[in-house]
């Protein structure tokens, strides 16, 4: 028998250290409010604290975990803090974290049905559940001609939708010969920057992205869209893709889907709807108005990793015609051929997105839905909206601040009445205080502060503290 040292962690050691890691995470959540929300380190500080060379010999796991505490934690911006109000949330929850742990433990690569049938079939089933949970059109279910797939983010979903739109518009010629410079895509001036990145990656070119003006609610103007499409057609170009947004990043504006959808249908243009954060609100029947007109869409996506307590990354992307998507993205080398695929009876999700490989992401989503239930998810969504609306009323009643955009759900855009400079200083001091974290945007060429309520554990006391901090810092600046 060999006496050589083994370098792997034994199952018994894994059991021991695994408990230590779970305890560390649980302790972290118990003390998370003691940390400044926005990391206070300087550029290069974390790297400067790390050894210049990797270890030749393995180190004790206890030392590694201790370095998490002393070296890494100071450089963490605490997205899971209940005082995190920046960007849109990337919230997590206990069930999601445990589902992610099981996914990592199984370590499967679910590129084909055959490489792990449960990975594919659970994903298909859970995404069909979500069609019903959000009251989406049945055409997005796998039982018909459409279906859903988990992408890493809405950026990837929009890219895949654009690629399918490109191929449909060129009868799949672009995949063979490349783009000829005539394809045109459309989105509002408030659409996410991922649309601009997508047109670059897809080969349409930035100059062929038309950013359509918005109305006084920052929603895309259908008349301007129709006019631009007509102008491009007259110039010999080929309109192929329109992205509407349900809940823009800057202001949570909701584009008018019925009008945009009819324009796209009449013009034969692929209609994609990006509901990255706000789509989750449709779990509650009273907020389903945000999806009015969604039946006209060719594709749709929303992010459970933003507001549905499912840790990053998890975007649910739906298409009404999976055949177009699969034909656009499918490449089948000999080493991937197998009887199940050739039977045509299974889904191979490798054909539904950019990468070949894929993790078992549906496990964490399944855990969240089963643990909370629809009732529990609705409770927290309603509570977040209520807290945001209370904050909006506080702004409206304040003599210092004003509302900068409509606040239909959980994002409040506001500004100090004193102008851009005081708003810049206010934001900087708020974030340096460590008590809460806000981000900003520009609306009507004016600096605007954004407060988004969506972190898993945010409660009334955190909102009260946020209001007090904002008020005190503003007063000190005047």
- Shared domain check, 225 and 314: yes
Instruction: Give 307-342 pLDDT, tens digit per residue.
Output: 999 999 999 999 999 999 999 999 988 888 999 888
- Shared domain check, 112 and 66: no
- Count CB neighbours of 449 within 10 A: 23
Contact predicate 349/111, CB 8 Å: yes
Handedness of CA 331, 335, 341, 347 (dihedral sign): negative
* 283: CATH: 3.40.640.10
Instruction: Give 458-467 pLDDT, tens digit per residue.
Output: 999 999 999 9
- Cα(76)–Cα(64) distance, rounded to whole angstroms? 17
- Shared domain check, 252 and 131: yes
- Shared domain check, 120 and 44: no
- Cα(193)–Cα(160) distance, rounded to whole angstroms? 15
- Shared domain check, 68 and 181: no
Instruction: Give 198-252 pLDDT, tens digit per residue.
Output: 999 999 999 999 999 999 999 999 999 999 999 999 999 999 999 999 999 999 9
- Shared domain check, 297 and 185: yes
What domain count does the chain have? Answer: 3
Handedness of CA 255, 257, 263, 268 (dihedral sign): positive
Contact predicate 443/404, CB 8 Å: yes
Q: Is the pLDDT of residue 2 over 60?
A: no
Q: Is residue 99 part of a domain?
A: no
Q: Which domain holds residue 126?
A: 108-359
Instruction: Give 247-289 pLDDT, tens digit per residue.
Output: 999 999 999 999 999 999 999 999 999 999 999 999 999 999 9
Query: pLDDT band at 1, cuts 50/70/90?
Result: very low
């Amino acid at each position: 028998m060999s006496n050589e040292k083994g370098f792997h962690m034994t199952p018994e050691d894994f059991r021991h250290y695994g408990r230590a890691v779970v305890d560390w995470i649980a302790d972290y959540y118990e003390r998370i409010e003691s940390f400044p929300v926005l990391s206070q380190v300087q550029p290069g500080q974390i790297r400067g604290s790390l050894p210049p060379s990797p270890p030749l010999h393995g180190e004790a796991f206890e030392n590694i975990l201790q370095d998490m505490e002393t070296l890494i934690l100071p450089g963490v911006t605490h997205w899971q803090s209940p005082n995190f109000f920046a960007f849109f949330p990337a919230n997590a929850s206990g069930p999601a974290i445990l589902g992610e742990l099981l996914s990592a433990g199984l370590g499967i690569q679910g590129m084909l049905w055959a490489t792990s049938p449960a990975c594919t079939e659970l994903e298909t089933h859970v995404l069909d559940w979500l069609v019903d949970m959000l009251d989406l059109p049945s055409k997005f279910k796998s039982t018909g001609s459409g279906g859903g797939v988990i992408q890493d983010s809405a950026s990837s979903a929009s890219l895949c939708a654009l690629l399918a739109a490109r191929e449909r518009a060129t009868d799949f010629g672009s995949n063979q010969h490349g783009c000829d410079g005539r394809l045109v895509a459309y989105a509002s001036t408030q659409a996410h920057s991922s649309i601009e990145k997508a047109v670059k990656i897809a080969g349409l070119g930035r100059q062929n992205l038309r950013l359509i003006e918005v109305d006084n609610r920052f929603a895309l103007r259908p008349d301007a869209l129709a006019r631009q499409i007509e102008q491009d057609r007259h110039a010999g170009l080929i309109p192929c893709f329109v992205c509407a947004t349900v809940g823009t990043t800057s202001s949570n504006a909701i584009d008018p889907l019925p009008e945009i959808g009819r324009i796209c249908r009449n013009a034969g243009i692929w209609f994609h709807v990006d509901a990255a954060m706000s789509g989750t609100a449709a779990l509650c029947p009273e907020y389903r108005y945000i999806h009015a007109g969604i039946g006209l869409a060719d594709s749709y996506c929303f992010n459970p990793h933003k507001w549905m307590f499912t840790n990053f990354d998890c975007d649910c992307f739906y298409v009404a015609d999976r055949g177009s998507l699969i034909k656009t993205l499918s490449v089948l080398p000999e080493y991937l051929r197998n009887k199940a695929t050739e039977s045509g009876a299974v889904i191979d999700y490798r054909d539904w997105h950019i990468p070949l490989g894929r993790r078992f992401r549906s496990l964490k989503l399944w855990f969240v839905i089963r643990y909370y239930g629809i009732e529990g998810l609705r409770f927290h969504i309603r509570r977040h909206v209520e807290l945001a609306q209370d904050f909006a009323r506080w702004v409206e009643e304040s003599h210092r601040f004003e509302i900068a955009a409509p606040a239909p759900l959980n994002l409040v855009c506001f500004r100090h009445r004193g102008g851009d400079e005081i708003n810049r200083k206010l934001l900087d001091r708020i974030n340096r205080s460590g008590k809460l974290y806000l981000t900003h945007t520009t609306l009507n060429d004016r600096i605007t502060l954004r407060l988004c309520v969506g972190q898993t554990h945010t409660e009334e006391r955190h909102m009260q503290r946020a209001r007090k901090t904002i008020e005190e810092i503003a007063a000190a600046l005047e």
